[in-house]
Amino acid sequence: QLALSIPEILETILSFLSLKSRHDASRLVCKQWYAVCKGLTPVSYNWILHLTPSNNNSSNSENNDFGMEQRTISERISSATNIVIKVDKDTLVPGASKQRLDSWTNMMGVLSSIVQEHNDRRLHPRLQTLHLREGILEDFAIQLPQLPVLTTLSTLRIDVIVQWDIIYLFEILKACPNLEELSIQPTYAANMPYRSTHLSFEQSSAITSQQEFSIMDRSDVQKSMTRLRTCSLYNMTITLPALRGILQVSPQLSKLVLARCRHLVRPGQTVTFFDDRPASSLNHTAFIIRLVGEHCANLKSFHLSISRGSGYGLNIPEAISILDTFPHMEECNLTDQDIDPVLLKSLSTVVNRITALNLLPIQSTTSYTHGIPLREILCTFEHLIHLRAPTATYYIEDMDLNGVQEQLREIWYRNRGYVGYRTQSTPCIRKDDPAIARQYIWACRGLRTLHMTVGYHDSDSNSTDTALIIFGFLSRMCPQLQDLHLKRWAMNLEIEGGLSLLTRLQDLERVRIQIDHHHWVGEEYLSWLKPTTLPSTWGRLTFPLVYRRVRKNLRRRYQVLTPPEILNAESKLVERGREVGIELAKIGHGDDLLDWMDDHYGLCASASHRRERLTTLPKLQSFWIEFSDQRGGNEWRKLEAYVARIRPNVDFQMRRFSKDVFYTTTLQYY
């Protein structure tokens, strides 16, 4: 009863619960508790601009009440915890900029009146998150100064199209003094070829160095410390004085992303920074790195990509400088264009502290990146837990530890009477040298996240054989894997391809496979996803017909090869694998998949196998198979319905993937 009469006590008690648990529990107890808790639960509100040639209207996305009076809007907005402001794309018309600015002014007037009312009544405002969607902020110089002071706002997200000036950060921090998370990111429209995303010369030179310092002084931001912890800024024009002013008052920053930025020297700028040397005497990127290192001691994640010619990135000395400037940082963030064998030698000095390595694309047109030494990285960084390099290529020749591809190619040429067949330019892996064996066995046994592309040094071959090599290799090399994202031009996802070998990874939670060409997948080929223990005696006796056919085909195709037991009798590679607890003798061979089928459906499955395999991917949350086109959409829906029946808690999707890797991967993580 005391808690019911004193909401402050109840608020403290309920703060230990998540917002969803708080809302659900309050509904289940009684109406009185729900009445008290209602004010503590999050309320989201979508505020949409409907632009017409004559007028604008604001409406809530749920009721679309056009012509809503300002008082009614204020009442609804005042109770919102999260607000999203966006433009209705269906009502966009040419020449709507003035109407957009007028609507923005009206919106900011509503927010100002709400803030004033809360201050007059000494009420605690509720707004915590504000998201300004694409098209809302068209003119930073006019619109940002109209933001009211939002003392409770902790998260601000802005979607931008054009490149913007760093000086406007001072306007944002002035209006949001308690901001903890700031994200200003581009949208897909920023990549359209007809849209210029860079500041024109007139825009970039409109503010002089003296005016910049005047804006910084008027904002009063430098008089107190900010609470910024996470800051992701894209398409920003950087000046060193403004960046230094922001970093000086943000000592709590733990994550800083300065992506696709451009350096600018304002007219009249003559400022010295380090060792009494002016900014023009050193590389500006090096200055930025030193500034961040000097003022952000608690930084745990840092990404920097500066405009360089026709692209973005860092040169080798700059990348090395980042590693040296942050000796305690465990996460290394580079673009997929930055790293090469030369930089890898410098990375080897931090091999014992790097647990996360992100080589994400910064260009929207990047699909594949060759030259990144993924094998050397995975075989060297023993403490690596997360590797995100979706465009970097790991070559199948480095996975084919038993030379299966070369044996099959030799037999194919011999059966057709070719003498002196063309061998692959990349030699097979030597198995008699212990030093070479270590170069192909991954050192990161605790790897949990793996995003990469799989390709070939030479011309590609049968997608069934390569798929069996890929999945057999991964199922042995990273037993603790939780997040797998594979990209491959051709892949056989039927049972012959060995996709089911992923069931060895008992911690696997997310699977995402992107392919251009594929063999069709039927329901019978996904039956292994059923979350059951070992099949019953009847289930093993009634061995599925499709598996019988696959078993027959595997035996016929691989019986011509040298048996793995004989081939690897003296293999230092297999011996080294057994020393670290992994069995490599059958990787890529049909016997690897036959052993898996025996475990699942064989009558002679051993007791150890029964104890080892408890269930099929018990932690699986999502399984996405993405294609380059939408052919077979109806069949996709049938497969989705089938998996929904056998694994109702798994998000299984078959869909077309976006070829713009920057917007689907880099922006998702940064």
More confidently predicted of 298 and 157: 157
Specify the pLDDT at position 194. 39
Q: What is the DSSP string of 586-612?
A: TTTSHHHHHHHHHHHH-TT--HHHHHH
Average pLDDT over residues 157-183: 91
pLDDT above 50 for 37: yes
pLDDT above 50 for 530: yes
For the stretch 85-132, pLDDT in tens is 888 765 555 556 777 888 888 888 888 888 888 777 777 677 889 999
Strands (E), 52-145: 56-60, 82-87, 129-132
Q: What is the C-alpha to C-alpha distance for residues 421 and 412, in angstroms, rounded to an integer?
A: 9
Q: What is the C-alpha to C-alpha distance for residues 373 and 395, in angstroms, rounded to an integer?
A: 10
Location of structure tokens 């849209």: 195
More confidently predicted of 54 and 534: 534
Specify the pLDDT at position 61. 40
Q: At what angle do helices 590-601 and 463-477 cross, to 10 degrees?
A: 70
For the stretch 369-380, pLDDT in tens is 777 889 999 999
Residue 159: pLDDT band (50, 70, 90) is very high
Cβ(76)–Cβ(107) under 8 Å? no
Location of structure tokens 């006796």: 541
Structure-block tokens of residue 271: 């400022």
Specify the pLDDT at position 219. 82
Specify the pLDDT at position 506. 92
Specify the pLDDT at position 577. 87
Residue 40: pLDDT band (50, 70, 90) is low
Query: Which of 81-90, 339-348, 379-388 holds the top average pLDDT?
Result: 379-388
Specify the pLDDT at position 527. 83
Specify the pLDDT at position 647. 92
Specify the pLDDT at position 424. 54
Q: Which of 334, 252, 264 is nearest to 300 (CA)?
A: 252
More confidently predicted of 258 and 345: 258
Q: At what angle do helices 240-248 and 168-175 cross, to 10 degrees?
A: 20
Q: What is the C-alpha to C-alpha distance for residues 142 and 524, in angstroms, rounded to an integer?
A: 61
pLDDT > 70: percent of the chain: 76
For the stretch 412-461, pLDDT in tens is 777 776 655 555 555 677 766 777 878 899 999 999 999 999 988 876 66
Specify the pLDDT at position 337. 74
Q: What is the DSSP string of 205-226?
A: TSS-HHHHHHHHHHH-GGGS--
Mean pLDDT of the chain: 79
Give the helix/strand (H/E) hosting 408.
helix 404-415
Contacts for 411 with CB less than 8 Å, ≥ 6 apart: 560, 561
Specify the pLDDT at position 420. 55
For the stretch 263-306, pLDDT in tens is 888 887 765 455 555 554 457 888 899 999 999 988 999 999 98
For the stretch 214-236, pLDDT in tens is 888 888 887 788 899 999 999 99
Q: What is the C-alpha to C-alpha distance for residues 488 and 554, in angstroms, rounded to an integer?
A: 23
For the stretch 307-325, pLDDT in tens is 877 678 788 888 888 888 8
Specify the pLDDT at position 121. 77
For the stretch 503-523, pLDDT in tens is 999 999 999 999 887 666 778
Average pLDDT over residues 646-652: 93
Residue 561: pLDDT band (50, 70, 90) is confident
Residue 243: pLDDT band (50, 70, 90) is very high
Could you tell me whether strands 181-186 and 129-132 are parallel, antiparallel, or unpaired per DSSP bridges? unpaired
pLDDT above 50 for 203: yes
